[in-house]
Amino acid sequence: MLKRAAYGVVIWLIPYLAAIPLLPVMEQDLLFFKTLMIVIGAVVGGLAAAHYFLGVSDRFLREAVLITVLWIAISWLLDLVALLPFTGQSIPRYFAETGLRYLALAATTLAAGYVLSRKAAPAATPRPT
């Protein structure tokens, strides 16, 4: 569980740190800044998922569901502690503007878990052509 949580913190921390030098961009063009943050988050999340699954040997889909829920929850919690006090956003506004974007992480983690579980399945399992 600690390894899973550590990955979740890293997935949140890298984009958070990357945002600091981009603050002038945020002031000039908020939409472009948010686009950059989505791209950074997607790359970091994808690389983290790929690296994480290198250490997983079975029950890939179960693991994908676990890390998806945990990593998104960690990101939300850290945002609520480290981001919201500075933005002054209400919680509903935070989820509308930022929080729901973390759900995109599920595309990477669940897809990886699904593909790995299919590859690990016995040869008798029919595969789509």
Position 59 in a domain = yes
Position 50 in a domain = yes
Position 127 in a domain = no
* CA 109/CA 46 separation, integer angstroms: 7
Domain count for the chain: 1
Position 128 in a domain = no
Residue 122 has what pLDDT?
Answer: 74
What CA–CA distances, in Å, run from 17 to 12, 60, 109? 9, 30, 22
Binned at pLDDT 50, 70 and 90, residue 121 comes out as confident
Position 125 in a domain = no
* Domain boundaries, position 55: 2-120
Helix, strand, coil percentages (3-state) for the chain, rounded to 5, are 80, 0, 20
pLDDT digits (tens, 9 = 90+) for 20-35: 999 999 999 999 999 9
Residue 127 has what pLDDT?
Answer: 63
Phi-psi region of 125 (alpha: psi -120 to 50; beta: other; left: phi over 0): beta
Binned at pLDDT 50, 70 and 90, residue 123 comes out as low
Position 129 in a domain = no
